[in-house]
Structure 1
Amino acid sequence: MNTKLSAATLPTITSAAVPHYTRYDLTPGIVHFGVGNFHRAHQAVYLDALFNLGEGHDWALIGAGVRDTDEAMRQKLMGQDWLTTVVEQEAESSSAHVTGAMVDYLKPGDSAAVIAKLADPAIRIVSLTITEGGYYIDPASQKFDPTHPDITHDAAHFDAPKTAFGLILAGLAARKNAGLQPFTVMSCDNIPGNGHVTENAVAGLAALIDPALAEWVKSSVAFPNGMVDRITPATSDREKKLLADNFGIEDAWPVFCENFKQWVLEDNFPAGRPALEKVGVQFVPDVAPYEHMKIRILNGGHATIAYPAGLMDIHFVHEAMEHPLVAAFLKKVETEEIIPVVPPVPDTDLNDYFALCEKRFANPKIGDTIRRLALDGSNRQPKFIIPTALDRVNANGTVTGLALVSALWCRYCYGTTDSGAVIEPNDPSWDRLTAQAKKAKDNPTVWLDMADIYGDLAKAPSFIAAFTKSLNSLWSIGTKATLEAYLADRL
C-alpha cells in the first residue's frame, strides 16, 4: 500500500530520504515566484540540503505565483504540507528524497497579501523562475519592453499589480517607505545576465511610475547574476506512477530530474544569504563566463536536437540521442560552430563540458521530451542560437549548421512533421509563427523578416544564403536527407 505524502506520514517513509530537521522550526527568509518543477529540483533542493546540515533555518521558502494555473500547483502542494518528492535518475540507478524547504505558498491573485509578505523584514531574498519568456524582453534588442500591456497595466494599477515585477516593485516601495532595507532580487532563469535583465524590468516599470523610485531601485537594490542548471522534465501521470511503483509514495506533483545540478552565483546579497557554498553552490566574482557556456552549449544544444527530432516524430530526448543523425548533427554544430565562439571559462574545458552535456541528454531515465525542448522557440532562439550565429557572422565564420537549426525551427512551426502528423501549438506566438512558416515555404527569407527575433542577423548575406538553402532542402528532400547532406558537407 502506498503512503500519501504529508507531514503526518513523513516519519513512516523508509523508501526515500526525508528531512532531518524539524520543519516547524523553520522561518521564512525567501519568497519565490514560479514554483515549478525546476525550482523544486534546484533551489529548494539546495536549501533542503543546507537545512539538513542544521544551518540556515531562517531561510525557508514561501511560494508565490501570478498565473491562474499557479493555483493548481498551490492546491496540490498544500494538500501535502508543501512537501515534494524529488527523484534523481541516472541510467543505472534512481533515488528519491523528500524536501521540506517550503513552508507556505501565497494565493495567486491576492496582491495585498503578497505585497505584505514582501514588506516583512524577515524576507531578505526574492527569487524567480518565471521562464525565459516572462521578463518582457524585446527579442531582437534583448531589452526590457515598457510598452507590453502587462507592464502598462501595472504602471497604471500599482496598488494591485499582476506581474511578478509589479509585485516585487510594490514590496520594495513599501519597504522604502517604512525605512527598511530592500531585499535582494535573485533570478534563477536561463537568461544571459539574468540579474541585469531583472533589474531592467523592475527599474523599467518603476520609471513609468516614479523616476525617483527607479533611481532608488538602481542604487539600492541588489540583483545578482546567476547560472542554474539541472535537466528537469515536466511531471505527468508517468512520473507519478513510477514514484508509486518504485518507492511506494503517493505525491500529487513529484519532480523527476537528473543527478547533476549546478548553481553559480555572484556574491551580492546586502541583506544576507544562506550559506549555500556549504552545499555546492559556487560563488564567483563574475558569472558571465559560466552562463555564456551553459546557454550557448547546453541550451543551444537542446535547441539543435529539438526540431529535427520533432520533425522525425521522436518523442523522448534520449531517443533523439540514440538516433545517429541527430547525435552527429549535434556534435558537428557544437564543435564546428558553437564552441569556437564561446569564451574561456575558469577551470573548465569546453569540450569536456559538451561531452558531459551529451551524456546528460542521453540519460534514458529522465523521460525528458522533445516537445519540451521545442517549446517557446520565439523566446529561446534569440537567446540560445541567434547570438551565436551573429558572433560567427561577425567573425567571418561558417554558419551552415546554425542556419540549418533555424530552418528546422521554421519547418517545425509549419505545424506538421515529415510524416504529416500535426504539431500542436508549442509557442506563445504559435499562430504568428505558423503563418510566417507557411509563407516561407515558397519564399524562405520571409521567415527572417521577423526583425524582432532575428535583428541584425537577418541582414547577413552568409546567413540568409545558408538558411535559404537549408529550408529549401527540408521541403524538397525532408529532414533525414537534409541532415545526411549537412553531415557529408553537401549542404
Structure 2
Amino acid sequence: MLLNKTTYTGYKERPEKILQFGEGNFLRAFVDWMFHELNKSGKFDGSVVAVQPIANGMANMLNDQDGLYTLYLRGLKNGKPESTHETIDVISRAINPYEDFDAYLKTAEQPEMRYIISNTTEAGIAYDDADVATATPPNSYPAKLAVWLNHRYKTFNGDASKGVHIIPCELIEKNADNLKRIVLQIADTWALGDGFVNWLNSACTFSNTLVDRIVPGYPRERIAEITEELGYEDKQVVEGEHFHLWVIEAPESLQQELPFPSIGLDVKYVTDMTPYRTRKVRILNGAHTTLVPVAYLYGLDTVRESVEHPVVGKFIKDAIFEEIIPTLDLSKEELEQFANDVIDRFRNPYIKHLLMSISLNSWSKFETRVLPSLLEYKNRHGAVPQKLSFALAATIAFYRGKRGEEAISLNDDAVLLELLKNAWSRYDGSDESLESVVVEVLGFEKNWKMDLNKVEGLTAAVTKHLQSIVNSGMEKAIETV
C-alpha cells in the first residue's frame, strides 16, 4: 500500500503559492517542512508546486504519492537521542517541464503564486549562453526562471501586485544577487524589454540566504524497518537532523508574510547575513576541517567518535571555544550557543559521518575555513594559535599518505598532491628536512593567496608541531597542545 491521498486521511487542499525549483531531499526536509509547520500553525495557507529542474528527476514519483512523504528528524535534542516522524503534505503536485512545459508556464498565470524557492546545486545559478527564449524549456535554472517571470509579467500586464519573492537556497555566497544578475543578463540578451526589467526590479524581491541542516536523505539501509513502522510504503521518505537554520536577507514585507520565527522555527530575517555565514564557515565547517587530520591520524574514523573521544574531543572543543570564537564579532553568548549546537550535531548517533568522506580537498578547505581564524587570532592576540597551527601541521602529516602502516587515499588538486609528494620525498628523518617540508607547503601561494612563511612565528610553530607528530606519533603529540 503506497502513501497517497487515499491512505493519508489528513490531506487538505491549499492554494498554490510557492513555486519550487527542486524536488530533492534537502528542500523537502528543510523549506517544505517549514511551510508545512506554518500551515499547521494557522499563520499561512498555501502549497508548493515542485518543478523538476533537470531532465531526470523525481516528479513522477512524487505525483504517484500525491506529493506526500514522510520526514524523519533524528539526532540529539536537549542532549538526548530523539527520532520523530511526520507526514508532510505541503506539495500539491510536481511538474516535469521537459515533459509538460505548458503546465509549468501556466503556473505563472496563477494570481496567488507569491514565492519562488530553489535549490539547484551550487552549479545551478550560472549563465548558459546556449539558452534561447524559444526553448521549451531552456537548460539553465536562471533561464527557466526568466521565461516564467516574463510570462507572468505579460499575463498581468506588469501589475506590481503580481510580483514575487525569490528566495534561492543554493550554497553559494550572495546566491540571490548572483541569480538576479544572471536573469537581468538574460533579459538583455533576449531583449525582453525595459518594461519587464522595471517590473522585475520594482515588483519582485531577491533575498540572499544561508541554509543549514544536515539531510542524509533516503534511508535505504533501514527502509524495511520504516515500512513496517509506518504500515505503508513510502518511496519518498527523507531523513534530516533536528537542527535547522535559515538566514534570509529580506524586506519587512516578507517577514510579515512568512512569520516563521513566531512559531519557533530558527529563521532569522536580517539586513546582512555576512556574520552568520562567517559563523557557520568558521565554527561548523572550520571545526570539521580542523578535526579530520588530527582525529584520523589518532586512529579514529568517524566524526562522532572523535568528538566524544576524551583527548581528541577536548582538542576540537578547545580549538572552537579558545581560538575560533574569539575571532568572531557576534555576541559571545550567541557564538557559544551555536558552537554547542555544532558539537551536538557532530555527536548525532543516527549519522555515521566518516572522516575520510570530508577530507576531500582539505587544502582549499583549510584556506577558506580555518586560515581566516588563524590569521585573525594572530592579529588580535599577537600570537600563533596552538590548536589551529597544530591542525595545519596535522594536515601536512596527513598528506604524507600514511596512518601507521595503512595507506591514506588522498583526494585533492593534482598540483597540490604533486607538491606534497615531492616535499615528503626529500624528508630524510631529520628535523631540518621536516622544516623544509613546512616551508614549501606554507609558501605555496596558489592555495594560500599569500606566503604564510611571512606570518611571524607560524613556520616555527607548524614545524614544531610536525616534528612532534612525526617523531612521537599523534597520541603523544596532541598532548603538547
Flag whether TM exceeds 0.5 (same fold). yes
Q: Give a deviation string over 1:391-418, Cα, whole Å, max 9, x none.
A: 3455455255445545656666777766
Please provide the CA RMSD for this pair.
Answer: 4.3
SS in 2 for 1:50: helix
Q: How does 1:4-403 map to 2 (within 5 A)?
A: 4-11=2-9, 20-22=10-12, 25-66=13-54, 71=57, 73-89=58-74, 90=76, 91-107=80-96, 112=101, 116=105, 119-121=108-110, 122-131=112-121, 133-134=122-123, 151-154=127-130, 159=135, 161-176=138-153, 178=155, 179=158, 181-200=162-181, 202-203=183-184, 221-244=204-227, 246-268=229-251, 273-281=257-265, 282-286=267-271, 287-309=273-295, 314-345=300-331, 348-371=333-356, 373-374=358-359, 383-392=368-377, 394-395=379-380, 396=382, 398-403=384-389
Instruction: Determine the C-alpha separation between the residues in 2 that align with 1:463 and 1:111.
Output: 63
SS in 1 for 2:71: strand
SS in 2 for 1:284: strand
Instruction: Determine the C-alpha separation between the residues in 1 that align with 2:438 and 2:321.
Output: 27
Which amino acid in 1 is paired with 2:284? L
Instruction: Determine the C-alpha separation between the residues in 2 that align with 1:111 and 1:434.
Output: 47
Give the superposition deviation at 1:358.
1.4
SS in 2 for 1:88: strand
Q: Answer yes or no: is 1:454 the counterpart of 2:448.
A: yes
Instruction: Determine the C-alpha separation between the residues in 1 that align with 2:345 and 2:309.
Output: 15
Contact 1:30 1:59 in 2 (8 A): yes
Give the superposition deviation at 1:7.
3.0
Q: Answer yes or no: is 1:488 the counterpart of 2:474.
A: no
SS in 1 for 2:84: strand
Give the superposition deviation at 1:134.
3.1
Q: Give a deviation string over 1:252-305, Cα, whole Å, max 9, x none.
A: 342223323333433327688444344334453434433432332223223333
Q: Give a deviation string over 1:34-93, Cα, whole Å, max 9, x none.
A: 433332221111111122234533342414323x6x52x445434433322111223443
SS in 1 for 2:129: helix
Q: Which runs of 5+ in 2 are unaligned?
A: 426-436
SS in 1 for 2:477: helix
Contact 1:50 1:278 in 2 (8 A): no
Tell me which residue corresponds to 1:465: 459
Which amino acid in 2 is paired with 1:361? F
Q: Give a deviation string over 1:16-48, Cα, whole Å, max 9, x none.
A: xxxx441xx123322323433332221111111
What is the identity percentage for the equivalent residue pairs of Structure 1 and Structure 2? 21
Q: Which has the higher contact order (CA 8 A, sep 6+)?
A: 1
Give the superposition deviation at 1:4.
4.0
Tell me which residue corresponds to 2:428: none
Which amino acid in 2 is paired with 1:260? F
Q: Which moved more, 1:466-475 or 1:367-376?
A: 466-475
Q: Give a deviation string over 1:416-462, Cα, whole Å, max 9, x none.
A: 7665356486xxx7656645554554555666677675335758535
Contact 2:215 2:239 in 1 (8 A): yes
Q: Which runs of 5+ in 1 are unaligned?
A: 12-19, 137-149
Give the superposition deviation at 1:340.
0.8
Instruction: Determine the C-alpha separation between the residues in 2 that align with 1:405 and 1:201.
Output: 39
Instruction: Determine the C-alpha separation between the residues in 2 that align with 1:187 and 1:58.
Output: 19
Contact 1:84 1:100 in 2 (8 A): yes
Which amino acid in 1 is paired with 2:146? L
When the two structures are superposed, what TM-score results if normalisation uses the length of structure 1?
0.74
Which amino acid in 2 is paired with 1:226? T
Which amino acid in 1 is paired with 2:307? M
Cα 1:407/1:328, change in 2 over 3 Å: same
Instruction: Determine the C-alpha separation between the residues in 2 that align with 1:388 and 1:339.
Output: 9
Which amino acid in 2 is paired with 1:332? D
Instruction: Determine the C-alpha separation between the residues in 2 that align with 1:87 and 1:326.
Output: 30
Cα 1:458/1:361, change in 2 over 3 Å: same
Tell me which residue corresponds to 1:14: none
Give the superposition deviation at 1:108.
6.9
Aligned residues: 454
Instruction: Determine the C-alpha separation between the residues in 2 that align with 1:313 and 1:288.
Output: 36
